[in-house]
Amino acid sequence: MAEDPQLTVGVPTETFPGEARVALVPGVLQALSKAGMKTIVESGAGQAAGFPDAEYEEKGATIGTRAEAFGADVVLQVQTFGANPEKGRDDLSLMRKDQVIIGLTDPLGNAAGVQEMAKTGATILSIELMPRITRAQSMDVLSSQATVGGYKAVLVAAANMPKMFPMLTTAAGTVRPAKVFVIGAGVAGLQAIATAKRLGAVVQAYDVRAAVKEQVVSVGAKFVEMELEAGEAEDKGGYAKEMGEDFLRKQRELMTSVVENIDVVITTAAIPGKKSPVLITEEMVKKMQPGSVIVDLAAERGGNCELTKANETIVVNDVTIMGPTNLPATVPYHASSMYAKNLVTFLTHLVKDGAFQWDMEDQITVETLLARDGEVVLPRLREALGLEAPSAATAETPGPAKPDGTAELRVAPPEGTSNGAVKPETAAS
């Protein structure tokens, strides 16, 4: 363990409405200490997730104010200003040059917010842009939080339907198992399938990517086959691509015959920065059985159901339609633990010998780096903001100052090295 930590890591309390998670939990602080980092936690930051200040102190953290947490060399958050533009605006004045901010930033949904963060001079990294490569799996926040979201979606559905999930044979008669249909077999979808199956439901699932059939079957569901020409339905990272309206129309027609006999529909098709594709129309809802439940995990971008309202539960023709946008925050203890592990693995990947080592030939670094030296640097975001290619003056990547006042520098890759590729799924997919 380093005797004189060179970097300080700040953990402020989350301010996004309903956000109960915390960026770091006590159990991961030892790993940071061994890497030569000292942690400053805002008082009460972990309380809502089940982690009192005393537990952080027992693991060596200092408890302080919000300003003190933001005074650290590195600030770790669940939802940074980019993802929390209203309640997080006051944090902009606390950010500074030679500081690194890491967390969820919603870069494709709020590029302007990222630009505001960039103007503070801080170096901004977006953990939801983590590339889908083998060595980055332990840093993949979208997957860890989608696991929680998929699990909780099934419990929410079970609590809001008039039937029980399992088949039961009792003296009062036989209870038939509930029928569950999961649309989208990403991380959230697969976890929803597995959870529904464990509760005793009969589960079916569909994904535009035929390649995931084996995964669907392996967790206990029947894969619904649809005679559709999907073409290139999968990108290089293994995620579903956005399909055309003609394809979606045919898909909805074939899906109607499935959903009208289903008790619970869970949808997970979300595309970062774009409106979610409509997979369940109002006409399809009208044909569903009374008492059926739809849990739309793509509600934040409009929803996969035409009638979905974000963060609301509505009833249409006796069908309950739920549009939760942050289910992981409703299971904050374990969601925080998983998120914290992702963050610490990412941070220790970037920090060596007590200082940031910016390897701009590393895909993980290149694809998560949003801003540095006052400018947005991710090509995709610069294009969205109508900005020209980065100037030569910003081709070097400064990190936080070392104890001697100098900074680590690495040369950025040639223009076009990174395409800013991201995963077309959120914590809800």
Give just the sign of the alpha carbon dihedral 298, 304, 308, 309.
positive
Write the DSSP assignment of 116-185 as a string of letters.
HHHTTT-EEEEGGG----GGGGGG-HHHHHHHHHHHHHHHHHHHTSSS-SS-EEETTEEEPPPEEEEE--
- In whole angstroms, give the CA distance from residue 10 to residue 12: 6
Does the active-site annotation cover 140?
Answer: yes
Calculate Rg over the CA atoms of the chain: 23
CB contact at 8 A, 271 and 424: yes
Catalytic residue (one of 77, 143, 144, 336): 143
Catalytic residue (one of 137, 249, 318, 353): 137
DSSP tag of 299: G
- In whole angstroms, give the CA distance from residue 68 to residue 22: 17
Catalytic residue (one of 56, 151, 239, 339): 239
Token couple for 285 = 């809802």
Residue linked to tokens 């294009």: 383
Catalytic residue (one of 140, 207, 362, 373): 140
Q: What is the dihedral of CA 255, 258, 262, 268, to 10 degrees?
A: -30
Catalytic residue (one of 21, 66, 132, 382): 132
Does the active-site annotation cover 239?
Answer: yes
Residue positions annotated with a catalytic role: 132, 137, 140, 143, 239
